């Protein structure tokens, strides 16, 4: 079976022009894209990179690409990132990593945000397979729990726990992560409403940000627009 994520990365590579500032998120498809860029030494030397991910920053440094500190990023030509699921309008849900706040900042700083991955990510409507992740200020925790219990009572809410040590995952910004599992499919608007609760720094649904999605599957590589 072909490596679909690699096939998607090969098509994404064609969108990159020499001299651009390229933003990259996290995941195995992004790792494929970086490897392809590294193979084109002339292109790689002309690019500047920005990333929302500590792990991806390590890869960029390993390839000896030019990397901007996240505080220095003023503009990104193209931001590439994976996701867990996206719908027909390219609204994307991300639940891994817990770095969605910086991912969303980079996607918003970019001229173009391109989702990449295999065809399994593409759905007509977001379903309940993946949780919506909330980055929450410690002081807002109880308020957010109360809001969720009142407004989406059927949802199951769990605090993200560390797999390496006892206790909660603490984000790079010093906050908690809550995974909100919906019992039934709810609207994008209802999911987005949680953004207004004081203490919610950001949620992991990317609404209307992606301009393209490059997906590869049995039917070949497709470039989708909203």
43-68 burial: b if 16+ Cβ within 10 Å, else e = bbeebbbbbbbeebbebbeeeebebb
Residues 138 to 167 in contact with ligand 5RP, rule: CB under 6 A: none
**Choice between 117 and 140, CB closer to ligand 5RP:** 117
Short-list 10, 110, 20, 97, CA closest to 65: 20
Which residue stretch of 23-31, 63-71, 138-146, 211-219 sits at the interface with ligand 5RP (rule: CB under 6 A)? 23-31
* Contact string 28-67 vs ligand 5RP (x = CB under 6 A): xx--------------------------------------
CB proximity list for 66: less than 8 A, separation 6 or greater = 47, 48, 49
Smallest separation (angstroms) from ligand 5RP to the CB of 27 = 3
The two structure tokens encoding residue 6 = 């690699």
Element (H, E) at 81: strand 76-81
Residues 77 to 96 in contact with ligand 5RP, rule: CB under 6 A: 81-84, 94, 96
Active-site annotation holds for 103: yes
21-24 vs 48-51, strand pairing mode: parallel
When binding is defined by CB under 6 A, the residue of 26, 33, 134, 200 that contacts ligand 5RP is 26
- Kindly state whether residue 221 participates in binding ligand 5RP, applying the rule CB under 6 A: no
The two structure tokens encoding residue 32 = 């494929």
Among 7, 35, 71, 103, the one annotated catalytic: 103
Short-list 58, 59, 112, CA closest to 81: 112
- Kindly state whether residue 117 participates in binding ligand 5RP, applying the rule CB under 6 A: yes
**Residues classed as catalytic:** 103
Binding-site ranges for ligand 5RP (CB under 6 A) = 5, 25-29, 81-84, 94, 96-97, 99, 117
């Amino acid at each position: 079976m072909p490596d679909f994520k690699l096939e998607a990365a090969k098509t994404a590579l064609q969108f990159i022009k020499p001299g651009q500032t390229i933003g990259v998120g996290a995941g195995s498809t992004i790792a494929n894209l970086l490897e392809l860029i590294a193979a084109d030494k002339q292109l790689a030397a002309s690019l500047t990179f920005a990333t929302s991910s500590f792990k991806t920053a390590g890869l960029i440094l390993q390839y000896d690409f030019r990397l901007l500190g996240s505080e220095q990023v003023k503009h990104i030509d193209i931001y590439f990132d994976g996701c867990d699921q996206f719908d027909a309008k390219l609204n994307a849900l991300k639940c891994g990593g817990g770095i969605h706040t910086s991912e969303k900042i980079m996607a918003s700083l970019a001229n173009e945000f391109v989702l990449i991955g295999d065809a399994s990510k593409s759905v007509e409507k977001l379903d309940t397979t993946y949780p919506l992740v909330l980055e929450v200020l410690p002081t807002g925790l109880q308020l957010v729990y109360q809001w969720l219990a009142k407004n989406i009572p059927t949802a199951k809410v769990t605090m993200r726990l560390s797999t390496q040590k006892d206790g909660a995952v603490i984000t790079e910004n010093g906050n908690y992560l809550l995974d909100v599992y919906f019992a039934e499919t709810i609207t994008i608007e209802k999911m987005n409403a949680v953004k207004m609760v004081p203490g919610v720094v950001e949620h992991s649904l990317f609404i209307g940000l992606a301009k393209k999605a490059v997906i590869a599957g049995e039917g070949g590589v497709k470039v989708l627009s909203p």
